[in-house]
Structures are given as C-alpha cells and as structure tokens.
Amino acid sequence: MLRGLYDKVIKLSESRHALPTLAAVSFAESSFFPVPPDVILVPMALAQPQKARLYALVCTISSVLGGILGYAIGAFLYDTVGHWLISVYGYGEGVESFRAAYAEWGAWIILIKGLTPIPYKIVTIASGFAGYDFFMFVVLSFITRGARFFIEAELLRIYGEPIREFVEKRLTLVTTGFLAAIIGGFIIAKYAF
C-alpha cells in the first residue's frame, strides 16, 4: 500500500497536476487539513531534484496564503469554525493561555512553530484569534515556512539520490518515522499550548 502511494506521488511529479496538487495541500494544511505538504514535497523533490526549489517556492506561497485563511478563521470566525477546528485537533482548552503568550512572544511562536512538525494551522488560527499584527504575521510566516521548505528542498536537491535510495529501501520505516513526527507534533502542541 505504501509503495503504491509513494509511486503515485513520484508519478504525479511528472504530470501537469504536480504544482496545483502541491499548492492545494500546502494551502489546506495551513488552515484546516491535517496532512503536511512534506508528504508530497519530499517524493516530488526526490523524483525531480532540479525542480526542488520551485516546489519549495510553491509550498511557501501556498502555505502563507492558507495561513492567511487560518488567520481570518481565527479573527472573524473563531466562535464557530475556528473553535471547532481547534477542538477537533484537541487544543480547545489551551487557547486562552496561548492567546496570553502571544501578547509577549508572538513572533517567536510563529517562527518556531512554523519550522516544526507542530500543526501550523493551530498557529494561524490562534494568530487571528489573538489579534496578532497581520502584516507581521504574514512576514514571519514567509520567513518560517520559506526556511522550512527551502532547507528541505535544498537537502533533497543536493543529497537526493542517496536519500531516494534510503527511502525506497526502507519506505515503511521512513513512513513510520514521518507519522511519528506528525503525531509527536500534535502531542507537543497539545501540551505546549
């Protein structure tokens, strides 16, 4: 099953749907979707290392645009959609303390959490809910998301072939590690909130 999904993403990288799919997943992940764009970015960059920087750029722009939607959800729809989304991910109880932390540490929260496997949608919705300066939110989002995706893409571009061989030989192990990082990010966010 994993091999089939991996092969589909590798094949996707060669199609005209590659960039729109990557953009859609990256956009959605920043506002409501639980799966990070790395699931598509990594295999695509491994299959097309010459396009890794383009993929990182698409992920960055789409992620920030999705983050703007998340910010709007937090700022204008928190009592309905925002609170529901935060609760679905199990963070509903800690939002008030997070809001207080934003007053003092907002920039650092955005920068640090944007680089980690902690779900970025929590940061975007909470930023809007906390009333964090919108312009600074966008600037910091470009910095943190750009750093994450470009570092990842550059490593895959430079060391792609050995990484690809490792991933393909140990696909189950790599997928398990990736899922553990995602779940760990949710757990860290739950208790760090």
**For residue range 21-68, what is the model confidence (pLDDT) as tens digits?**
899 989 998 887 877 888 888 888 888 889 999 999 999 999 999 999
Q: Tell me how long the chain is.
A: 193
Q: CA angle at residue 31 from 29 to 36, to 5 degrees? A: 10
Contact 122, 86 (CB under 8 A): yes
Q: In this predicted structure, what is the pLDDT of residue 66?
A: 96
Which DSSP category does 92 fall into?
G
Q: If DSSP codes are grouped into helix, strand and coil, which group holds residue 33?
A: coil
Closest to 149 in 3D by CA, of 175, 108, 184, 114: 114
Nearest to 118 by CA among 2, 16, 34: 34
Q: What pLDDT shows up at residue 90?
A: 64
DSSP codes joined into one string, 47-58: H-GGGHHHHHHH
What would the mean pLDDT of 156-179 be, rounded to a whole number?
69
pLDDT at 53: 95
Task: Write out pLDDT tens, residues 84-122.
Answer: 777 776 666 666 676 777 777 778 878 877 776 677 888
What confidence score (pLDDT) does residue 89 get?
Answer: 62
Rounded CA-CA distance 170/187 in Å is 25
CA dihedral 139, 142, 144, 146 (to 10 degrees): -160
Q: Are 30 and 69 in contact (CB under 8 A)?
A: yes
Residue with tokens 């996707």: 12
Residues 6+ away with beta carbon under 8 Å from 105: none
Of 36, 32, 37, 30, nearest in space to 12 by CA: 37
